[in-house]
């Protein structure tokens, strides 16, 4: 399928300027790109878990959302969306509502990998015709940069602070994209924003216009939590893909598809070096920690290649 990026870029914004997100934040980029995949003639209903995104995009009576928007509790954004979609089907069957509506939930990693996982899993299992979008910034950024199960191993956070007795978070990052694929839903994809956003745009439209439940995991860096300059966000996402820390792939009705394979798989330190949260790893006594991270990235990459080759 061919995608016209110029036509996409000319569509009206559904997530507009005026919000208070930080410069260099991945979250609003994700919102704009995903919502632009909704066809102009269609409507959308957005549910959003408590987060930086919610706090900064809606300050009563102002809102950056042009579609219907529901702020939910941290733990139940997917359940809320599931209920609204069911109500829509009932009203449409009775002839009380017209037009096509798409149902989209946005949640950060805290509200997706952790607190909201139960409602997310339930909505997917029930077969709700919705898209859940996780903008993954790898910590609880809204409440002070605490670790989540999405936080990478050895990252420095306020609850896994680096010091004489600690090297950062001691556990590996949860692989939520593969967990969602295990739900056997019609569409699952992992993406981020690099170069011309083609991968993100393509997957967002596929997810939104796939009948049934779909899940998108979008790496969305946080300048405060990751500690990088605002202008570096594109470089960081590109390095994540080129080092295979964050591979681009999708699972379409059980078929695993690798969307990009680096010509030269860069060493993981090229990605880690850009971020202050990994600064402590670049000392002679911690070289073995980088080697450990590299080993894990290599193992996960080989596992993904095997799944895609099957």
State both tokens at 305. 């290649």
* Per-residue pLDDT at 9: 75
Question: Under DSSP, is residue 190 helix (H, G, I), strand (E, B) or coil?
Answer: strand
Site of tokens 């080759």: 309
Q: What is the C-alpha separation between 154 and 224, in angstroms, rounded?
A: 17
| DSSP conformation class of 279 | G
CATH at 201: 3.40.50.970
Torsions phi, psi for 58 (to 5 deg) = -135, 110
Domains contained in the chain, number = 1
Q: What is the C-alpha separation between 277 and 157, in angstroms, rounded?
A: 7
pLDDT in tens, the chain (310 residues): 556 767 777 888 999 999 999 999 999 999 999 999 999 999 999 999 998 899 999 988 999 999 999 999 999 999 999 999 999 999 999 999 999 999 999 999 999 999 999 999 999 999 999 999 999 999 999 999 999 999 999 999 999 999 999 999 999 999 999 999 999 999 999 999 876 688 999 999 999 999 999 999 999 999 999 999 999 999 999 999 999 999 999 999 999 999 999 999 999 999 999 999 999 999 999 999 999 999 999 999 999 999 999 7
Domain region containing 34: 5-309
């Amino acid at each position: 399928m061919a995608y016209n990026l110029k036509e996409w870029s000319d569509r009206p914004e559904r997530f507009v300027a005026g919000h208070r997100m930080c410069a260099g934040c991945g979250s609003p980029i994700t919102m704009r790109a995903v919502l632009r995949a909704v066809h102009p003639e269609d409507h959308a209903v957005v549910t959003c878990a408590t987060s930086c995104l919610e706090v900064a995009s809606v300050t009563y009576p102002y809102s950056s959302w042009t579609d219907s928007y529901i702020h939910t509790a941290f733990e139940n954004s997917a359940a809320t969306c599931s209920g609204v979609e069911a109500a829509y089907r009932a009203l449409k069957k009775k002839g009380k509502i017209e037009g096509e509506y798409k149902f989209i939930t946005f949640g950060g990693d805290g509200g997706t990998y952790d607190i909201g996982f139960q409602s997310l899993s339930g909505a997917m299992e029930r077969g709700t015709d919705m898209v859940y979008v996780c903008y993954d910034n790898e910590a609880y950024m809204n409440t002070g940069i605490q670790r989540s199960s999405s936080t990478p191993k050895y990252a420095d956070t306020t609850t896994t602070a680096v010091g004489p007795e600690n090297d950062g978070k001691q556990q590996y990052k949860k692989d939520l994209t593969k967990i969602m694929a295990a739900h056997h839903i019609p569409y699952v994809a992992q993406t981020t924003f690099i170069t011309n956003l083609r991968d993100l745009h393509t997957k967002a439209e596929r997810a939104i216009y796939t009948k049934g439940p779909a899940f998108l995991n979008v790496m969305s860096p946080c300048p405060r939590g990751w500690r990088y300059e605002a202008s570096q966000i594109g470089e960081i996402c590109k390095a994540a893909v080129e080092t295979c820390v964050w591979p681009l792939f999708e699972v379409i009705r059980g078929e695993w598809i690798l969307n990009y394979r680096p010509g030269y798989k860069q060493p993981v330190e090229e990605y880690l070096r850009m971020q202050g949260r990994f600064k402590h790893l670049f000392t002679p006594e911690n070289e073995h920690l980088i080697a450990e991270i590299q080993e894990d990235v290599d193992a996960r990459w080989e596992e993904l290649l095997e799944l895609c080759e099957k």
